[in-house]
Amino acid sequence: MDVAQALSIDNDVTVISPKPTRPLDFKFDDKQKNYPFEHVVAESFTYPESKIYGRMKESYSFGKWCENYIRKNHENIDVIYMNSWPMFSQMFISRAAEKYKIPLITHIMDIYPESIVNKLPVLKSFFYKVLLPMDKNILHRSKKVLTISENMKVQLQKSRDLPENKFEIITTWQNEENFVKYHESKEKTNNQRDNLFTFMYMGNNGPVAGVEFLIECFVKADIPNTKLIIAGSGSKTDDCKNLAKKLNAENVEFMTVSEGRVPFTQDLADVMLLPVKKNGAFSSIPSKLPAYMFSAKPIIGSLDLESDTARAIKDADAGMVVEPEHEEKLINAMKEIADWSTEKLTAKGKNGFNYSMEHFSKRGNLRKITDIILNL
């Protein structure tokens, strides 16, 4: 919506989106918002759970709905900016753009089918034979391809045989305004925290997140006067609750997060945890990274050491990075950071905040993306 809002100052803009359904069990505000642009809610199939068949059907349905909309309205469309689910929705939208000769900008947040292979390696052959050519066609139909990192750009350029001038890098951003306002608010001063040193994971609790691994490591670390909060929801939440119960982990808490309460909730933490399963961090930068940094909290990243996400944490000097799914190293990192002084924790968190303001803020990246759209 940020892109549409910025463009609508001098242009007629229409946004097509599905009904909001994720994360699972998240409480969405049903009130109709007064946007300065036309907002069309697609009557397409939605599937909030993290299951491959349902997500594919959801992507297919939304893509077909958008393709039909473009067919009916193509004479009034000058350019299409596509930030949609892979891969079926992108296929139908790009096909319609090509048919009606409408310039298409495709924003890639995660590389498919590679990231599906990490989840379902048994179907590797099928995904590469069927889906890889599909993605190649989508990107070849696009006038511009926006990626969120240099690693992603290089990988797509080589594997999809695309020219370098087709790409632009737009880093994953968060709206920093809500965090800045919270840092300056009385609510932050009055935020009631207990005396336990608090680790927190916030975000979608799905198959790739590896939250069960976090819980097991935290329990084995057995650090006195600490607790772990799992904030958010997702398909693996019940499994995580059952695991915590099985391990008699009374110092593991679960909470849902209402819309607009992310800064408040993350401020309950001393350290934010960012786990990504092995080989899962190369294809994208998770949106929770800038959100963690904007909360001015140090981060422990358990993820691929050569990924852009790991590089950002290191370059920012905002915490620690250890190998993914390495139990001993994550446990040692938890123990080490729990011994840091308050001054050191604060300094690392501030480093992350300053880095995110420079690299992940809405202000800088939004101008880049609107310029690209207007140039087409």
Per-residue pLDDT of 327-358, as tens digits, reads: 999 999 999 999 999 999 999 999 999 999 98
CA contacts within 13 A on the Cβ side of 228:
24
Q: What is the pLDDT of residue 291?
A: 93
Q: What is the pLDDT of residue 268?
A: 95
Per-residue pLDDT of 233-242, as tens digits, reads: 888 999 999 9
Per-residue pLDDT of 301-317, as tens digits, reads: 999 999 989 999 999 99
In the chain, the amino acid numbered 185 is S
Residue that wins the pLDDT comparison between 92 and 130: 92
CA contacts within 13 A on the Cβ side of 298:
24
Give span(s): CATH 3.40.50.2000, the chain. Answer: 2-173+361-375, 176-359
Task: Check whether 189 has a pLDDT greater than 80.
Answer: no
Q: Is 262 exposed, middle or buried (0-12, 13-18, 19+ CB in 10 A)?
A: buried
Task: Check whether 5 has a pLDDT greater than 90.
Answer: yes
Structure tokens at 45: 């199939």
Give the rounded percent of residues in the chain with a pLDDT score beyond 70: 97
289-to-38, 103, 203, 242 alpha-carbon distances in Å: 31, 32, 10, 27
Cα(320)–Cα(94) distance, rounded to whole angstroms? Answer: 41
Helical pair 211-221 and 327-338, crossing angle rounded to 10 deg? 60
Long-range contact set of residues 333-341: C-beta below 8 Å, sequence gap at least 24: 333/300, 333/302, 334/199, 334/217, 334/218, 334/221, 334/223, 334/300, 335/221, 335/223, 337/271, 337/298, 337/300, 338/197, 338/223, 338/226, 338/271, 340/298
Q: What is the pLDDT of residue 342?
A: 95
Which helix (H) or strand (E) segment holds residue 15: the answer is: strand 14-17
Residue that wins the pLDDT comparison between 205 and 107: 107
Per-residue pLDDT of 121-139, as tens digits, reads: 777 787 788 889 999 999 9
Helical pair 176-183 and 362-375, crossing angle rounded to 10 deg? 160
Nearest Cα residue to 299 out of 283, 278, 314, 284: 314
The top-level CATH class assigned to 2-173+361-375 is: alpha beta
pLDDT classification of 210: cutoffs 50, 70, 90: confident
What's the order of all strands across the beta sheet hosting 104-107?
80-82, 104-107, 144-147, 167-169
Q: What is the pLDDT of residue 32?
A: 66
**Average confidence (pLDDT) over 181-187:** 86
Is residue 323 within 8 Å of residue 305, measured between CB atoms? yes
Q: Which spans in 142-183 are helix H?
A: 150-159, 176-183
Question: Radius of gyration (Cα) for the chain, nearest Å?
Answer: 21
Share the mean pLDDT of the chain. 91
CATH number of 176-359: 3.40.50.2000
